[in-house]
Structure 1
Amino acid sequence: MRYKVAPPTRSLDFLRDARAAIPLVPDDEADCCRAIQRATDVADRETAREYLTFLRALGLVAESERGYHRTRTEPDRSALATAFREHVFAAAELLDALDNDGPLTEAEAFERVRDAVPRWERERQTGWEDVWRTRVGHLLGWAEVFGLATQTSEGYERR
């Protein structure tokens, strides 16, 4: 399963803090979002929900019938990089574009992954391009955090 969420880029320490806030015993989404807000500087519930879903995509949090819970997986940079590529929508396409065409600016990167945006996503909202440009910017930032890319004066390139 691939998750399309790409919250604003933060550090590995932030991911560790957000993950640690989630209980080992399953809890509901609202309580987990509040826990992320209390443990970090995330101000609003919607953004906390994005981070909760992102943690799930990275394998740091799981969902059961009873709610969300922290996994026993420690946030190892290499494992996170693999999970990012495999489970976050458009990450693989973006990294492939950097492999083939890098370095790329954020605008160029968006153009390379534009065709991967599902049709229903394009038709769902009138400003889909702005949403996806922002999402691609976040994906580039996360690729850098996970050691998959680096930003240079010419744009992002694969590391």
Structure 2
Amino acid sequence: MKFKLVPAAPDAFDFVERAQRAVPLVPGTEDDCCARLMDRLDLPSRDVARTWLTFLRALELAEETPSGFRRTDVDPTVTGCRAALLDRVFAAEAVRDALDTDDPRTADDVFETLRGSVPVWERHKNPSRWESIWRDRVGDLLSWLVLLEAADRVDDGDGPARFVRR
């Protein structure tokens, strides 16, 4: 199963560690877990907290049980989270593969490379906004790839951020 929801990447990896610790050891309801995430991480809304809870599941740092959501005993590491992101998050591997090691690419460049592979159902779900939604998604995935050391951000101070594959 591939997960689709990806929050904006934090500035530092320790936020991921804090997010995992905010999920209870004893299973709790989605509402309880989201409340804990909002409270402990100062997240702005329940929707953002729910996105984080889903993303932690994708990274194998939380799981859904018959009794609710709980944190796993997996220690969050950059290497482990990078492998889970590429394997379990929809389009993450394609975004990474769209990067070159020598020719920096913008998020728009990467989106244009992936445009044809965006599922038809995604296009029909938001027909007037699917492109902007997917441009944002590509940007978020690029930021995660940088945080998880699969890509580098290359800024020359002129124009939009550009990225290369590590």
Q: Percent identity at matched positions?
A: 41
In the alignment, does 2:108 pair up with 1:107? Answer: yes
Q: What's the TM-score once normalised by structure 2's chain length?
A: 0.91
Equivalent position to 2:151, from 149, 152, 156: 149
Letter in 2 for 1:137: G
1:92-115 Cα shifts (integer Å, max 9, x gaps): 101111147842101101111222
| Kept after mapping to 1: 8 A contact 2:18/2:41 | yes
User: Which protein is richer in helix relative to its size?
Assistant: 1
Match of 1:138 in 2: 140
CA RMSD of aligned residues (A): 1.4
- Alignment correspondent of 2:159: none
**Higher deviation after alignment, 61-70 or 148-157:** 148-157
Structure 1 segment 13-28 matched on structure 2, within 5 A: 13-28=14-29
Bigger shift: residues 76-85 or 9-18: 9-18
Question: Which stretches in structure 1 are left out of the alignment for 5+ residues?
Answer: none
The 8 Å contact of residues 27 and 67 in structure 1, kept in 2 or not, is answered as: yes
**Change in CA separation of 1:102 and 1:65 when aligned onto 2, cut-off 3 Å:** farther
Higher mean alpha-carbon deviation, 94-103 vs 47-56, is at 94-103
Q: How many residues align?
A: 159
Tell me the distance in 1 between the aligned counterparts of 2:72 and 2:103: 35
Distance 2:86 2:52 in 1: 17
Q: Does 1:158 align with 2:150?
A: no
Contact conserved, 2:101 with 2:165, CA < 8 A, in 1? no
Does the 8 Å contact 1:102/1:158 carry over to 2?
Answer: no
2:81 corresponding residue in structure 1: 80
Partner of residue 4, structure 2: 4
Amino acid at match of 1:27: G
Counterpart of 1:118, as a letter, is P
Deviation of 1:32 after TM superposition, in Å, equals: 0.5
Q: Deviations over 1:101-141 (max 9, x none)?
A: 84210110111122221100100112011111111100000
TM-score, scaled relative to structure 1: 0.95
The 5-angstrom pairing of residues 62-81 of structure 1 reads: 62-81=63-82
Shift in Å at residue 21 of structure 1?
0.7
SS at match of 2:105: coil
Q: How many Å apart are 1:13 and its aligned residue?
A: 1.1
